[in-house]
Structure 1
Amino acid sequence: MSIAAVRDYFAQFGMADNVLEFSTSSATVELAAQAAGVIPARIAKSLSFKVDGKAILIITAGDAKVDNAKFKNAFHTKAKMLTPEEVVDLVGHAVGGVCPFAIKEDVAVYLDCSMKRFPSVFPAAGSANSAIELTCDQLEQYAQNVQGWGDFCKGWQAED
């Protein structure tokens, strides 16, 4: 998949022109924040895991880290990230451009509550130099296969 696939995906919502393409890399949280002109926490990073032999995505704020205990409690298995090759095969996007749009049909998407503190977030859009600005409500509306919101992360709250 690619930025073109993500643009095509957003065309059905009249939002294809909202996809941002940067002249520099946005493949990491830090680079994406620089490209978008926002703090790193507002980058909605997509983390890929394998659960019961299938890929899942957890979309979380850029400053959050998956909490192994919370992950195991939610998914009844240890957190095992996909390899870069598995991400392409099972999700449909390459690392650096992974997002919950224009993905393979059987990929479940979970949204982490760490993003809800911001008026908008910036998930990638299928390439290592793209993003789209969305409110959390829009992210929930437009992401594919959303299973709901959860608390899967640590490191973003003062008390963590």
Structure 2
Amino acid sequence: MVNTDHPAVDRVRAALAEHGLTPEITWFEVGTPTAAAAAEALGTTVGAIANSLVFTLDGEPILVMTSGAHRVDTEWLGERLGGTIERASKDVVKEATGQTIGGVAPVGHPAPVRTFVDVALRQYEVLWAAAGHAHTVFPLSYAELLRVTGGTEVEVAPTA
């Protein structure tokens, strides 16, 4: 039996409810800390997994919601955002989101985190995002993801 009580997941659930969303949160017996693992467990394509990646932009934590099928080109994206992007340490991730790497949700953070959303996610009718714990995911649409995060649409790497 999977224990479905966790304070970070409760905060995500509450944040979603504030935006009128009450999706079913799926709990897995085994953690799904990567897009590939989550996609396999859900029986969906890796591109429909909305990865929550925390970086710093000139030292400020930012959240980049990207398709599991993409890698963020930090140099390229940093140039477009007018600064330098670096991967955040696990301590910065935890401080900014209240969650740990592998389970970072798009919402439910102690304070708002400036968020950028990969436009490649638009092509999927249903997206799956972590719900605050590496054993959790929840479904939402691209429009809902933009709305709940207040995110800015971006390309995360140059298109071929």
TM-score range, shorter chain: 0.7 to 0.9
Q: Would you say the 8 A contact 2:78–2:85 is kept in 1?
A: yes
Correspondence list, 1:1-160, <5 A: 2-143=8-149, 146-154=150-158, 160=160
**What is the TM-score with the length of structure 2 in the denominator?**
0.86
The whole-number CA distance in structure 2 between the counterparts of 1:10 and 1:110 is: 18
The whole-number CA distance in structure 1 between the counterparts of 2:98 and 2:79 is: 27
DSSP-derived class of the 1:27 partner: coil
Q: Give 1:14 deviation, angstroms.
A: 4.8
Q: What RMSD in Å do the two structures reach over aligned CA positions?
A: 1.8
Q: Would you say the 8 A contact 2:103–2:130 is kept in 1?
A: yes
Deviations 1:84-142 (A, max 9, x none): 12100122210011121111324101111111111121111100011111110111122
Number of residue-to-residue matches in the alignment: 154
Q: Give 1:65 deviation, angstroms.
A: 0.8
Gaps of 5+ in 1: none
Q: Would you say the 8 A contact 1:119–1:135 is kept in 2?
A: yes
Q: Which moved more, 1:22-31 or 1:70-79?
A: 70-79
The whole-number CA distance in structure 1 between the counterparts of 2:65 and 2:79 is: 17
DSSP-derived class of the 1:9 partner: helix
Deviations 1:36-80 (A, max 9, x none): 221111110011111132210010100101123431222222320
The whole-number CA distance in structure 2 between the counterparts of 1:34 and 1:139 is: 22
State percent identity of aligned pairs.
Answer: 24
